[in-house]
Structure 1
């Protein structure tokens, strides 16, 4: 990073209480709402956004679309409780606010809300529904991403039983989707006035992430059109000419790695995109920012963001720079890239975590920001260059809640290896005391902890625990070598790093070494399984949606390609040692830690068989263990009552094996 120029971060916040009265609990969490998908109107007067909330009576989650004036004032709901609505976008002429909605018990369709008044009206009526969409620059058409209709989509009457699955693909499963077939995602365009739909792309491959050029002449999109797409990750950028009749798309990038997220410059001459340009294994390659000259076909990596993961790159309205979100050393920043010099200006960073942003035609910025003690709200910049809060999603619910404070620290886990970790202290923390602690390991492993509001960690802190959140080797945000350090060595360098994070807190006097627990979900759970096979220092463990006997996942989860790339074909004797060496199953004889094992019944990301295998070994060895399986749930839980039950299980387990141990101690 070459230059840091922070705007004045004098935030005006609506929910800083004078006196705290309550502690954060599960019931409060379940009543929380989350804002996402912000979209500013072309006239700059309103910001639309999606609101996620839980319906506790019906025991489900819902999404709705709201709108808030940029000049200030209360938010207004744009959709009612008839189905889920999300993905708000404005027509270029400012007349319509469009959404995706499944209202009326139908497939997700594009709906239009006319700003002159009246109820929302459906624009599309595709039996298979719509996955994503984008307005044309003139506003007379909308670009659609649509999956080919299956026989079930075309059924006029419901069948008594579903059809058998007939599979001939190599990549044949996906969590939240199920078995995969050859019904592919393609691009369509619909005329807004006539509602006539025309298909643009065809073939036995998926087309996604379409982006319409500002001059309206071309559509860029992402597709893997290699001979065997299921055997590689080689997505490329493609270009479709919209001025001619039906035409074949033209390939724009020719890399052996993933290219994605194309976005146009205002003059339609360049595309910014992300590229996993690395000689390392594809799964560990950091998506970096690149800019493509359409005419010459030449691409250039932005060197000032080398080995830094970027999200949602967008050219600024002025055409001179580009805005993007980056993951960098425990921060999720909003940065501005000068297109001439590639110099970087950090617009928002440090404790201001940016999850989404949008820019009005006049250059006014809006961002969805959350901080360690404040969940996400919509902010904008005032005339004094201060960020001021527009939304008040959490104001009434959290006004009297005291949250724990967060600190980030750096230390050496072993000579020459610097590691960062976040330490969340309980509300009312007193320096003269040491506290029980929970080592909270993130998933991925290609992810990072940052300063963002972490509801799960705050729930644990409210129970009196210091929550330790390290970014061990394997995390993104610290360069390619750091991310690839665990290749074929899961539970090796990252185990050393997470234990060093605990020792740092113990040396500081914060943590009572006799009262420690370890917890993680997904890869965090997998590393938890390694931890309990390598040390008995923890009084309790909680492992969620984790893997134990890795070879049993091959052909059963969705990661056959990852397993093959990293460890080789499991049926070959020459690869057996690589598979067995990193599989914690073969070290379960060493475990003495009481372990709570949890997961979703229908998880095909990390299938429940892993949790069952871990549980049965621990029970057979008379190690205190409990298995909790959530019916019909996938890799994460979406049923509110299950979420409540999950955290009740957590707290009960920690109370039994950490708090009671504390009383004995």
Structure 2
């Protein structure tokens, strides 16, 4: 197959989902994920660049991964979370302490040498958590807070030493302390973890939420906030901050008020925490006193930022019982204790990367708006919302941003221009000016120079009584006004309550350079089009979204863009679910690939980590069994006549691999062409080799059953070039 070489995937670079603009607005820190072909691994490096573009980016770390960073209040230090080998200074200090103990004549045994491994519970399902344990024990180190002193230079210094690592943190306004989110199991919980690691069982639990994607089986340990002295590392736990939910292991989102008197955080401390998506806004004094809860359990809240005076907090929140309702900016008034949405009837959802920020007294946030992400300014008193940055290109989206010191930095992506970090004048932006932006990075220029970038167009189609948008990506030689029908891939997004937008994707480039048109539909159920549009799918999967997908397919054929004999369908997660729906409803696709989906809702209940969602949207399977059957593809497997590839992750807790196995066996039992690929992974594809293998499988499957292909036999199917390798070996 010609086109963009798939091993070029090793060469593409991705900025992280969080940026950090310095307090003066002069610099921005960001992470970049890069791929190592020899180690088959991804590495994340931390960079700093001036927001005016006056100097090239400077890489801060080379030896190990780095997570999102936060500037100290004086802007001279940069703290970040990373799993690195223990700081030499700490290691040497520990050795010296041990030597002094021996000199004191202590004949007692070293209790630590006999103690069970505190970190034995590390889950193989979680790529980040799998790097748990001290380096001295033979395991990888835990993520800790490290600190670069940019004024003095030198390597980063380790600040924290938590046994189970750090999830997130924030600076105190005095710059002398951090508030840190970290797990803190009791002695009993540590002992239970050791038994599970070395004993005859994998888990023992009485929790309702017993598993979670990326974490495997859950224990009972809670995550707490700790106040840590930056210089000494001394720590104090804030006891009233405990949260044992799976979401807490990703952190409590602490934000320290500018006056230093309060720390806000987001947690679920409800009695029914395992049966709820609620995350309340809490606050506590830095000494652990005066704990207060400011919301009533009806919201799932997070991503908070204080205004300059510290009397108001802006944060993102959506209803805890409905995934189709928009995430909106809310404001907590510290004096009155009131919490109010300031969305002002916009009926659009906040983009889940980059929460609201204060700029010149207003709130700036990235918002999904009809299949694109762009800036919106919200009046902090709820007086209105204004769409900004109309100068943003039509085929482009904002992926994340941060703002401070009158400057904003954003990650913008376009199919024909890759993805890069840019600097903007935040105050001019909120004033409604068409702001010029400064490109700060050139992450993929070398890769983009190797192939012709796809053209991107928005197509709007009538489906029933609604209009549905689709982003189409086509080879540069494609002429939409005088088209020659092309093989076309219907690529279906996950969620379902998310949206597709115009941005750079390696898979789209691989397909368009091989002559495919790629179509990504924002079907009913997608966000960014308002509550009614998104909520139309509530409790009735396998209905209106299938209508929308087929309506767009019909339009592509009618316009002469798509060859009706060379249509293909694929999707991941919810997109895999929808792909299976399609092949049980129509035989018009030459081949399909359903990836990491759910095909029998009854058997998914309780084996995946989404029982709360199932119950909220569809009821319970023993009470609403007909609904579970109606939204499932497996009962209709006898109607499939399309060659179908199924993929799954062996450790996937969101869409368990048994779902793909059931659908696969049901197809093969009928003698249909089907293929099953199970990766040694969770819900995501975690390594570059597996990502490339996946691309090869998709492209190979479509090519095999393309009517233009003469031989569709299993013997001729060789997407990974293994037959050529055997010939070379011979």
Aligned to 2:722: none
Q: How much does 1:74 deviate?
A: 2.2
Q: How much does 1:315 deviate?
A: 3.6
Q: How much does 1:306 deviate?
A: 3.3
Preserved CA contact (<8 Å) 2:9 2:688: no
Cα distance between partner residues in 2 of 1:553 and 1:399: 45
Cα distance between partner residues in 2 of 1:182 and 1:160: 13
Q: How much does 1:248 deviate?
A: 4.5
Structure 2 residue matching 1:391: 3-state secondary structure: coil
Which of 592, 604, 622 aligns to 2:641? It is 592
Aligned to 2:230: 192
Change (3 A) 1:659 1:392: farther
Structure 2 residue matching 1:324: 3-state secondary structure: strand
Cα distance between partner residues in 2 of 1:49 and 1:272: 23
Structure 2 residue matching 1:615: 3-state secondary structure: helix
Q: Does 1:328 align with 2:349?
A: no
Aligned to 2:446: 396
Aligned to 2:180: 144
Cα distance between partner residues in 1 of 2:67 and 2:701: 37
Q: How much does 1:434 deviate?
A: 0.8
Preserved CA contact (<8 Å) 1:289 1:310: yes
Aligned to 2:38: 57
Q: How much does 1:639 deviate?
A: 1.7
Which of 340, 350, 366 aligns to 1:300? It is 340
Structure 2 residue matching 1:491: 3-state secondary structure: coil
Cα distance between partner residues in 2 of 1:85 and 1:521: 28
Q: Does 1:433 align with 2:484?
A: yes
Aligned to 2:616: 565
Cα distance between partner residues in 2 of 1:643 and 1:330: 26
Cα distance between partner residues in 2 of 1:325 and 1:152: 44
Preserved CA contact (<8 Å) 1:516 1:538: yes
Structure 2 residue matching 1:260: 3-state secondary structure: strand
Q: How much does 1:663 deviate?
A: 10
Q: How does 1:164-563 map to 2 (within 5 A)?
A: 164=201, 165-202=203-240, 203=242, 205-206=244-245, 208-242=252-286, 245-277=287-319, 281-304=321-344, 306-311=346-351, 312-318=354-360, 320-339=361-380, 341-347=383-389, 349=392, 350-361=394-405, 363-381=406-424, 385-414=435-464, 416-430=465-479, 431-563=482-614
Cα distance between partner residues in 1 of 2:510 and 2:40: 21
Aligned to 1:622: 671
Cα distance between partner residues in 1 of 2:41 and 2:513: 25
Structure 1 residue matching 2:483: 3-state secondary structure: coil
Q: Does 1:645 align with 2:626?
A: no
Q: How much does 1:360 deviate?
A: 3.2
Superimposed CA distance per residue, residues 423-474 of structure 1 (whole angstroms, 9 cap, x where no aligned partner): 1112322433110101111000011011122222222212211111110011
Preserved CA contact (<8 Å) 1:336 1:347: no
Change (3 A) 1:160 1:184: closer
Q: How does 1:574-589 map to 2 (within 5 A)?
A: 575-589=624-638
Superimposed CA distance per residue, residues 535-585 of structure 1 (whole angstroms, 9 cap, x where no aligned partner): 00000000100111111111110011111222222234xx22111111111
Preserved CA contact (<8 Å) 2:223 2:243: no
Cα distance between partner residues in 2 of 1:197 and 1:321: 35
Cα distance between partner residues in 2 of 1:338 and 1:582: 41
Preserved CA contact (<8 Å) 1:288 1:306: no
Cα distance between partner residues in 2 of 1:222 and 1:593: 47
Cα distance between partner residues in 1 of 2:359 and 2:490: 44
Cα distance between partner residues in 1 of 2:436 and 2:672: 55
Preserved CA contact (<8 Å) 1:24 1:403: no
Cα distance between partner residues in 1 of 2:418 and 2:19: 15
Aligned to 2:717: none
Q: Does 1:94 align with 2:83?
A: no
Q: How much does 1:635 deviate?
A: 0.5
Cα distance between partner residues in 2 of 1:166 and 1:589: 39
Change (3 A) 1:204 1:176: closer
RMSD of Structure 2 on Structure 1 (CA) = 2.4
Structure 2 residue matching 1:201: 3-state secondary structure: strand
Q: How much does 1:518 deviate?
A: 0.6
Cα distance between partner residues in 2 of 1:110 and 1:257: 30
Preserved CA contact (<8 Å) 2:243 2:267: no
Structure 2 residue matching 1:385: 3-state secondary structure: coil
Q: How much does 1:138 deviate?
A: 1.6
Cα distance between partner residues in 2 of 1:154 and 1:69: 45
Preserved CA contact (<8 Å) 1:60 1:640: yes
Superimposed CA distance per residue, residues 200-240 of structure 1 (whole angstroms, 9 cap, x where no aligned partner): 13445456111111111111111112221112222211111
Cα distance between partner residues in 2 of 1:321 and 1:257: 23
Change (3 A) 1:153 1:92: farther
Structure 1 residue matching 2:547: 3-state secondary structure: helix
Change (3 A) 1:447 1:160: closer
Aligned to 1:76: 58
Preserved CA contact (<8 Å) 1:46 1:69: yes
Structure 2 residue matching 1:275: 3-state secondary structure: strand
